[in-house]
């Protein structure tokens, strides 16, 4: 091969070598990113979710012990926000052997609603956290809950939580109210609806108490504070807390002479 031909080919060979080197680098980065993502998913689906599950399971078992020691506490198990039926199944596991409750699932089954400024979070968009109604029912029934023990209230809360529904559910009260609807607007609607179903000993749980960075002016925390401000006669006692959730026990209506001064428990003046 002539020196001239070699000289002509040398730039091509150099370009090929450069391209091969670049591909090797990119392939290494791709493999590293894939490895990092696999490690992330392995952690999230393993220890991360296992820890969250144990924390939630502890909440339900604690409530079961509380209700057993303070019998009789009869009525409904209300759950607002039922994605994947995880907490509904935990509730059934913890309660059904001891209490003859009806389990009421309040959910749009269409995912999150449109969110305004106060409820916006980078991790959420409209339609997230969606579990189809049919899937939810099949999951719960397969887990062991008789279908007749389950009542579905489908729809966004500003439309589904009606006076007619209150009449339908009355006169029974709620033994446990589990609020897992994340948003301020949804939580506000749920609390207003539940007021008439409170009885002494009702356990009220907020699954996302520390969402929105724990900001008391957003999410479930703001909704509960405003609910107490609007209903100063209602008294709650702080109960159990995890890294995500917080629960309260309803002590009853203390009356104006208590709510205006010597109020005990949680809320205005506590």
Query: What percent of the chain is modeled with pLDDT above 70?
Result: 75
Distance between CA atoms of residues 144 and 237, nearest Å: 33
Q: What percent of the chain has pLDDT over 90?
A: 59
Q: Quote the mean pLDDT of the chain.
A: 85
Task: Report helix angle 49-69 to 86-95, nearest 10.
Answer: 40
Long-range contacts of 225-231 (CB under 8 A, 24+ apart): 226/188, 227/188, 227/191, 227/192, 227/195, 228/266, 228/267, 228/268, 229/267, 229/268, 231/195
pLDDT over threshold 90, residue 52? no
Instruction: Name the region of 163 (left: φ>0; alpha: ψ -120 to 50; beta: rest).
Output: alpha
Structure token digits, residue 220: 């479930």
The span from the CA of 162 to the CA of 160, in Å, is 6
Indicate if the pLDDT at residue 252 is higher than 90. yes
Per-residue pLDDT, 28: 60
pLDDT by residue (tens digit) across 135-173? 999 999 999 999 999 999 999 999 999 999 999 999 999
Find out whether 67 and 61 touch, Cβ atoms under 8 Å. Answer: no
Cα atoms found within 13 Å of the Cα of residue 21, Cβ hemisphere only:
6
What residues does each domain of the chain span? 58-259
Decide if pLDDT at 84 tops 50. Answer: yes
Question: Among 39, 154, 144, 133, which residue's Cα sits nearest to residue 89?
Answer: 144
Residue 169 vs residue 29, higher pLDDT: 169
Fold of 58-259: Rossmann fold (3.40.50)
Say which residue, 183 or 237, is predicted with more confidence: 237
Residue 102 near residue 76, CB atoms below 8 Å: yes
**Residue whose pair of structure tokens reads 């589990």 in the numeric block:** 178
Range with the lowest mean pLDDT among 28-37, 77-86, 99-108, 181-190? 28-37
Q: Sheet holding 102-107: strands in order across?
A: 150-154, 102-107, 76-80, 174-179, 203-206, 246-253, 234-241
């Amino acid at each position: 091969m002539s020196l001239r031909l070699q000289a002509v080919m040398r730039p091509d060979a150099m370009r090929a070598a450069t391209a091969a080197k670049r591909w090797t680098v990119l392939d290494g980065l791709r493999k590293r990113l894939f490895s990092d993502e696999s490690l992330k998913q392995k952690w999230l689906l393993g220890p991360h979710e296992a820890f969250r599950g144990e924390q939630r399971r502890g909440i339900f078992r604690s409530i079961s012990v509380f209700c057993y020691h303070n019998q009789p506490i009869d009525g409904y198990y209300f759950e607002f926000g039922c994605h994947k039926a995880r907490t509904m199944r935990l509730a059934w596991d913890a309660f059904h052997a001891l209490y003859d409750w009806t389990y009421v699932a309040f959910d749009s089954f269409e995912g999150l609603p449109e969110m305004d400024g106060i409820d916006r979070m980078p991790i959420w968009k409209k339609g997230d956290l969606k579990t189809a109604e049919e899937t939810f029912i099949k999951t719960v029934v397969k887990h062991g809950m008789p279908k007749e023990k389950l009542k579905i209230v489908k729809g966004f809360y500003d439309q589904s939580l009606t006076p007619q529904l209150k009449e339908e559910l009355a006169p029974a009260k709620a033994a446990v109210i589990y609020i897992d609807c994340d948003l301020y607007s949804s939580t506000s609607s749920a609390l207003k609806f539940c007021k008439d179903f409170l009885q002494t000993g009702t356990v009220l749980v907020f699954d996302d108490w520390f969402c929105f960075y724990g900001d008391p002016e957003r999410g479930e925390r703001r909704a509960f504070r405003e609910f107490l401000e609007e209903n100063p006669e209602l008294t709650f006692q702080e109960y159990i807390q995890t890294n995500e959730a917080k629960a309260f026990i309803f002590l009853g209506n203390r009356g104006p002479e208590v709510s205006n001064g010597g109020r005990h428990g949680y809320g205005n003046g506590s």
